[in-house]
Amino acid sequence: MKNALAAIQWSLIMLAGCVVAPITIGEAFGFSQEEIIQFVQQTLLVMGVVAILQSLFGHKLPVIEAPAAVWWGIFLALAVSVSSPGERGALLVSLQMGIMMSGVLFLLLSVTGMIRYIRRLFTPLVTGTYFVLLVAQMSGPFIKGILGIGYLTSTLQGKTALAGVLTTICAVMMARSPIRWVRIYSVLWAICGGWALFVLLDLNQPMTDGHSEWFVFPQVFPWGIPQFNTSVLFIVAITTLLLLTNLVASIEAVEKVVKSPRKTVEWRSGFVLGISQLLSGVFGTISFIPVSYTAGFILTTKTKERLPFIMGSALILGISFFPAISMFFAMIPSPVGYAAVFISFAQMLGLGLKEYTVSPLDEERILIIGISLMVGLGCMALPLTSLTGIAPIFTTFLSNGLAMGVVTCMLLEQGMRLNKVGRHRKGAL
């Protein structure tokens, strides 16, 4: 019973974090309702398979797989340029090829052991900066999500906002409850209770008629055979670097919370991530990445075991074959999803601050932190309209304050370290 409840909780969290991406991408590309349902199904299928592979053979940790924000942004950015069904098809098959090329690159980096060296760059200073910027980046979308802005309407509606805030307050109270079974399954209770509240207040989105078939096998290359496009090469290179950064940071975060550090997991997790991207290309969906907010979820629920996570992933995999069930869970009100995991994200700020205090905060470390956060937060504040004159890949990179801040922190820390080594050698001479 304990494992079953934990598995349901894991599956609901995965669903809440997964279905938004295919729906928004489908709407951006002008998909029909049936195509969106198929896109959701394919996404759930790949997510379930990848989560099981990672937990059994990759990093061997209970880490949620979610649509990679970088690829998500690229899909949405390029969808603007589509003006006809023919252009849409050509763009989708080239993006499929791009994701598969990124997967091959990950396989090569894993086999050659390059990921191991990249992980060494993730010092406590870098990890702390990652957490602080991640919370900063997500705070805006979270508040908008909880208030229901963009849910039923593009403006704030009092009833929706009140329901979202009440769900958030209840979720926080349950997460801090002295009653163990309430605290451990607080996210599950928050989703179920919040969803019920939205139904009672007539704030839930109506179910679509959708698919006429009750059982559907996944379709291989649903948008057509992938086609090579030289314009995606640079996108692949930059995206792979960003995903690699995210992968290592997520593993570091969950290892610290689970308190079960494992050596030499980088090549295994990177290898499985490569397979994940190949599967995403084959089944025509968005790429996945382990997400670090899992650490906050584990801190909130104290659910560290792998078995419930694997069971929850298997449940997601099973759901992907049934269009009606897939669409039912896709109807979870987005304010409820944001409210349920709000405290999990908030706790990651504490993780970041703890990382900063691993070593004494001398003048040099404070300078690195200050510059890195300024760069990261500054890039987050850049309006996308100011970047329209440059290539889409540069727009994606410059508007990604999280990546810019983390890379800045790495460069500053390693640069100052090398400078110290050089001065020490000169002094020795």
Positive or negative torsion for Cα 364, 401, 234, 103: positive
Count CB neighbours of 372 within 10 A.
Answer: 27
Residue 47 backbone dihedrals phi, psi, to 5 degrees: -60, -45
Is the residue at 229 inside a domain? yes
Q: Would the pLDDT of 397 be above 80?
A: no
**Is 64 in contact with 290 (CB distance < 8 Å)?**
yes
Give the whole-angstrom CA distance, residue 103 versus residue 98.
9
Quick check: is 245 in a domain?
A: yes
Locus of tokens 């980088």: 266
Q: Specify whether the CB–CB gap between 221 and 41 falls below 8 A.
A: no
Range of the domain at 299: 2-350
Answer whether 0.85 is exceeded by the pTM: no
The domain total for the chain is: 1
Task: Give CA–CA dist 424/317, Å, rounded.
Answer: 56
Please state, in angstroms and rounded to a whole number, the distance separating the CA atoms of residues 131 and 135: 6
Burial 179-189 (b: 16+ CB within 10 A, else e): eeeebbbbbbb
Strands (E), 231-384: 288-290
pLDDT in tens, 28-45: 787 877 787 888 889 999
Helix intervals (H) in 259-305? 266-282, 293-301
Q: Is residue 178 part of a domain?
A: yes
With contact defined as beta carbons under 8 Å apart, do 284 and 100 qualify?
no
Residue 205's pLDDT band, with cuts at 50, 70 and 90, is confident
pLDDT of res. 209 = 58
Q: Is residue 377 part of a domain?
A: no
How far apart, in whole angstroms, are the C-alpha atoms of residue 236 and residue 245? 14
DSSP lists the bridge partners of residue 153 as 149
Give yes or no for residue 287 having a pLDDT over 70: yes
Cβ atoms of 208 and 327 closer than 8 Å? yes
Q: Is the pLDDT of residue 415 over 80?
A: yes
**pLDDT attached to residue 300:** 74
* Average pLDDT along the chain: 82
Binning pLDDT at 50, 70 and 90, where does residue 196 land? very high
Please indicate, yes or no, if residue 419 is contained in any of the structural domains.
no
Phi (first) and psi of residue 67, to 5 degrees: -55, 130
Are 337 and 144 spatial neighbours (Cβ–Cβ below 8 Å)?
A: no
- The CA-atom distances, in angstroms, between 212 and each of 19, 33, 215, 216 are 20, 12, 9, 10
Collapsed DSSP state (helix, strand, coil) of residue 67: strand
User: Does some domain include residue 380?
Assistant: no
Tokens found for residue 377: 């937060």
**C-alpha span between 394 and 225 (Å, rounded):** 27
Lowest model confidence (mean pLDDT) among 116-120, 154-158, 340-344, 418-422: 116-120
Helices and strands in the chain: count of H runs, count of E runs:
20, 2
> Has residue 174 been placed in a domain?
yes
Examine residue 422 and state whether it is found in any structural domain, yes or no.
no
Q: Is residue 67 very low, low, confident or very high in pLDDT (cuts 50, 70, 90)? A: confident
Q: What is the DSSP string of 84-148?
A: SHHHHHHHHHHHHHHHHHHHHHHHHHHHHTHHHHHHTT--HHHHHHHHHHHHHHHHHHHHHHHHT
Q: Can you tell me the distance from the alpha carbon of 31 to that of 23, in angstroms, rounded to the nearest whole number?
A: 9
Give the pLDDT confidence of 308-351 residue by residue, as tens digits. 999 999 999 998 898 888 777 777 787 887 888 788 778 778 87
Residue whose tokens read 């999500």: 145
The per-residue b/e assignment along 41-57, b for 16 or more CB within 10 angstroms, e otherwise, is bbbbbbbbbbbbbbbee
pLDDT of residue 231: 61
**DSSP assignment string, 292-310:** THHHHHHHHH----HHHHH
307 or 246: which carries more pLDDT confidence?
307
